[in-house]
Amino acid sequence: MRQPNVVQSHLRYPLNSFLGTPVAVRALRELFAFGDPLSPVTIAERAQVTPHGVRKALRTLVTAKIVEPVGQGRSVSYRIRESHPLASVLASLFEAESEAADAVFSRLRDAAKRLDPEPLALWIYGSVARGDDTPESEVEVILIAPGEDGEALAYTFHDEVKEIAREYGLTISIIGLSPAELIRYSGNEAWWEGVTDSALPLIGPDPTELPELIPSLVPEELLQPV
């Protein structure tokens, strides 16, 4: 990452130091979430970064006075310096960040429950479910209709979630499947493994369970090959 050409005042713009690197942000997030002091190794494990990267970030954060060391030598740990005027603001920021994803999932669930008919299942899958999505990633959703036309129900659901996508700056990709299509696609090992690997169920059974439950949930005629 290239450094800015012009240095800015730390007094006026301390967030440059606090949030200047992804590792610093991750370290702060874990320290605010845990509350008590944490060792660099523990921070690294929780934040899923290297101990070397965490130690480098902590040196910057201690210099910036938003983090303070506790103890000495090999036993030193770190905690948020709560007396810093921006500590409570940053705490609120990380709390809002944590709540944002839950709000998206909750609103997707509520939107699906407003559908008529209500889907048998609604799952988030792909990069968002795995937790390795980027700002360009789509929120990939699979909706299982209780009747024959999963595509039509997915189209209606897309209209329901347009406002969620606009508000959060998301692209929501929706696949609608009928019960018969679900059973057929679940036999595709490569595709189905990608769905079941880390799917996040919002409505209905887990994708590893639903194919076996389908015969007890829908009329037999709906399970005939399309």
Chain segment 6-22, per-residue pLDDT in tens = 888 888 988 899 999 99
Q: Which pLDDT score is estimated for 223?
A: 65
For residue range 30-70, what is the model confidence (pLDDT) as tens digits? 999 999 999 999 999 999 999 999 999 999 999 999 999 99
- Given a cut of 80, whether residue 220 has pLDDT beyond it is no
Q: Which residue has the higher pLDDT, 128 or 4?
A: 128
Q: Which pLDDT score is estimated for 222?
A: 62
Burial of 123 (0-12, 13-18, 19+ CB in 10 A): buried
**CA 151/CA 56 separation, integer angstroms:** 51
Q: Which pLDDT score is estimated for 75?
A: 84
**CA 62/CA 40 separation, integer angstroms:** 13
For residue range 161-203, what is the model confidence (pLDDT) as tens digits? 999 999 999 999 999 999 888 888 888 778 888 888 889 999 9
**CA 80/CA 167 separation, integer angstroms:** 32
* For residues 202-207, average pLDDT: 94
For residue range 98-141, what is the model confidence (pLDDT) as tens digits? 999 999 999 999 999 999 999 999 999 999 999 999 999 999 99
What domains can be seen in the chain, in order of their start residue? 15-85 (1.10.10.10), 99-223 (3.30.460)
CB 142 within 8 Å of CB 122: yes
